């Protein structure tokens, strides 16, 4: 018995010793040198990974202002997707096996967690790599490639011009890969709904209008862009002529067959398409949509919960709109007020060029006015400037209402706020303020330009993003000016509410289409009955939901979280609350998931309490 207890005691002692060793190891205090060394090792890995990503994507290089592979387009093949998956697996293995997370400083630890989460998501989502429509009316290659050439490929030398020509020569290869990708999706019954086809075909045919594709007097979109850029170079005329001749040849031998083949394929595939609009029609569509919502909102909210939030927000905003209706002494109910706002000519610029120019000038004025007030609500401000442009004619019919392009990191290209002036009835004057604040300042330009200019975060965070954070900030930025005394005109304030209402309706319709099997027509009807927006707005938005499942839920979910955190900061800090400091906390780390944003705000509150 004595021997048994001795053995038991020795065994217990060994177990206790091992447990203490484990505890000591876990609680080890690392020196400043050890933390600096491990943190630098991880930051170097982030930079190496980002450089590898840039090297593999010539078009991303161009967006960054890098002219390394200036004559190439991205690899669009299935092999490229497999390569990316393998690289992600290798990176994840390194993060797990080679990093001592206990020896990282807090900033690098956050980056580590974000990078690791991104990699894990990419690996887990590989099974859904075909769950999208590579050509669609929102961001399809048929309009995206020409837009890229026009807006991103600058020509400052003969080398740049030859690189432009080289890219034109690669169109046919890229579009061949694109068609193969479409066939791969069709093999698992993922085909766009019928309405998508005519829009893609129209966009494609637009590119083939004008010289050298036909004998009309006008130049085609791409030839006009190339010629304008080359003619600005200070080189001999014969060199210019030779370059333009080479571009003509590339357009005829590569761009033309690329688009002809795509048009032919789309016309053929349209015969096999149907009008089922939600992703519920995909294999495992419900699981895919739940995953998409999780990625988009960075929350665990279910489709039903998001739908209900939308319904409640719609009801609340309707009440605030009714208050404005009474304030302006409108005789009639809210629906009649909506109709008045839709149809009264006082709220719309003319559809001619004079009206469009006036719209752009007013948008510039709105942004410039806000610039003069930024010190009141911000500590850090962007260095990059912002330009206001109309969406180009070749894609304006299918493009969205408004959007923003980031500036080039090297300062060679400003941020661009695009306004779609194709249908001036879709761009009422009472929405101009909210739209400019969202896309410009203090919205996306403020946030994304600052994010790129931060020195404290690695490159993958400077150019990465979380839709709920980014678009949540954009929608929150429509609200901030109200507190600063903007929206002085009650109709403009109504426009602000109309924009917010639009985003609330998105929660209802997006989930309605993809979870509740709403049709395209049911979605359009919900928008037209509950908002003052033009029917074309409703059509475009519903069609956007269909080809970009979950994306539009980000705006309201993100805004509500920012407002919730701001209310808590105000309540807990009282007189110590400073909106400039709160905004600094929100935008000083770049784009982050909403739960991480909440952690930052809680730490800020604790530090001030």
pLDDT digits (tens, 9 = 90+) for 489-541: 999 999 999 999 999 999 999 999 999 999 999 999 999 999 998 888 899 99
Q: Which residue has the higher pLDDT, 330 or 396?
A: 330
Q: Indicate whether 16 pLDDT > 60.
A: no
Domain parsing of the chain, residue ranges: 1-30, 31-128, 141-275, 288-561
Distance CA 397, CA 392 (A): 9
Phi, psi of 454, rounded to the nearest 5 degrees = -70, 135
The whole-number pLDDT of residue 537 equals 86
The region that residue 92 occupies, defined by phi over 0 for left and psi between -120 and 50 for alpha, beta otherwise, is alpha
- Strand (E) or helix (H) holding 268: helix 256-270
Q: What is the DSSP string of 383-449?
A: SS-EEEEEPPTTTTTTS-SEEEEPPPTTSSS-EEEEE--S-GGGS-GGGHHHHHHHHSTTTHHHHHH
Residue 547: which of 395, 416, 394, 399 has the closest Cα? Answer: 399
The whole-number pLDDT of residue 27 equals 63
The whole-number pLDDT of residue 519 equals 95
The pLDDT tens digits of the residues spanning 215-254 come to 888 999 999 999 999 999 999 999 999 999 999 999 999 9
| pTM higher than the cut 0.85 | yes
The whole-number pLDDT of residue 459 equals 93
The answer to whether 574 and 552 have CB atoms below 8 angstroms apart is no
CB atoms within 10 A of CB 552: 23
Cα dihedral 115/120/122/126 (nearest 10): 170
Distance CA 288, CA 587 (A): 30
SS3 (DSSP) at 518: coil
């Amino acid at each position: 018995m004595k021997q048994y207890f001795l053995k038991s005691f020795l065994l217990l002692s060994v177990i206790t010793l091992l447990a203490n060793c484990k505890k000591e190891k876990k609680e080890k205090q690392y020196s400043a040198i050890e933390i600096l060394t491990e943190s630098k090792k991880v930051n170097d890995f982030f930079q190496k990974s980002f450089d590898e990503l840039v090297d593999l994507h010539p078009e991303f290089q161009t967006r960054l202002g890098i002219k390394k592979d200036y004559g190439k387009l991205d690899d669009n093949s299935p092999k490229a997707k497999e390569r990316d998956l393998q690289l992600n697996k290798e990176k994840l293995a390194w993060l797990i096996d080679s990093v001592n997370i206990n020896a990282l400083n807090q900033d690098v630890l956050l980056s580590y967690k974000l990078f690791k989460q991104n990699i894990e998501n990419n690996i887990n989502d590989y099974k859904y790599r075909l769950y999208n429509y590579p050509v669609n009316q929102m961001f399809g290659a048929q309009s995206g490639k020409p837009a890229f050439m026009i807006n991103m490929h600058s020509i400052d030398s003969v080398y740049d011009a030859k690189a432009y020509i080289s890219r034109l020569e690669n169109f046919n290869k890229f579009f061949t890969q694109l068609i193969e990708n479409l066939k791969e999706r069709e093999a698992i019954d993922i085909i766009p709904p019928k309405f998508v086809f005519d829009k893609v075909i129209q966009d494609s045919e637009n590119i083939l209008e004008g010289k050298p594709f036909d004998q009309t007097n006008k130049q085609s979109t791409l030839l006009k862009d190339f010629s304008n850029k080359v003619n600005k170079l200070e080189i001999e005329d014969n060199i210019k002529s030779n370059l333009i001749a080479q571009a003509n040849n590339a357009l005829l031998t590569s761009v033309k067959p690329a688009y002809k083949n795509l048009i032919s394929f789309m016309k053929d595939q349209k015969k096999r398409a149907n009008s089922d609009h939600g992703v519920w029609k995909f294999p495992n569509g419900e699981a895919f949509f739940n995953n998409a919502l999780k990625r988009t909102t960075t929350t665990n909210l279910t489709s039903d919960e998001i739908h209900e939030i939308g319904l409640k927000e719609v009801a609340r905003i309707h009440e605030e709109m009714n208050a404005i209706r009474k304030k302006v002494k409108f005789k009639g109910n809210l629906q009649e007020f909506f109709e008045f706002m839709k149809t009264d000519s006082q709220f719309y610029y003319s559809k001619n060029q004079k009206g469009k120019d006036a719209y752009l000038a007013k948008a510039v004025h709105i942004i410039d006015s806000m610039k003069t007030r930024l010190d009141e609500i911000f500590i850090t401000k962007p260095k990059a400037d912002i330009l206001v442009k109309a969406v180009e004619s070749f894609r304006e019919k299918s493009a969205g209402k408004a959007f923003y392009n980031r500036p080039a990191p090297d300062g060679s290209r400003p941020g661009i706020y695009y306004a779609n002036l194709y249908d001036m009835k879709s761009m009422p004057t009472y929405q101009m303020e909210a739209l400019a604040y969202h896309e410009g300042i203090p919205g996306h330009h403020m946030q994304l330009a600052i994010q790129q200019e931060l020195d404290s975060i690695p490159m993958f965070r400077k150019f990465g993003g979380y839709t709920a954070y980014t678009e949540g900030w954009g929608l929150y930025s429509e609200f901030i000016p109200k507190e600063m005394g903007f929206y002085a005109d009650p109709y403009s304030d109504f426009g602000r509410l109309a924009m917010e209402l639009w985003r609330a309706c998105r929660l209802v319709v997006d989930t309605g289409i993809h979870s509740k099997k709403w049709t395209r027509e049911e979605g359009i009807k919900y928008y037209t009955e509950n908002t003052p927006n033009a029917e074309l707005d409703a059509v475009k938005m519903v069609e956007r939901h269909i080809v970009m499942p979950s994306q539009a839920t980000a705006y309201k979910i993100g805004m509500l979280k920012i407002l919730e955190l701001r209310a808590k900061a105000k309540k807990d800090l009282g007189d110590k609350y400073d909106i400039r400091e709160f905004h600094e906390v929100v935008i000083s780390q770049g784009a982050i998931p909403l739960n991480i944003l909440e952690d930052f705000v809680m730490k800020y509150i604790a530090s001030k309490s």
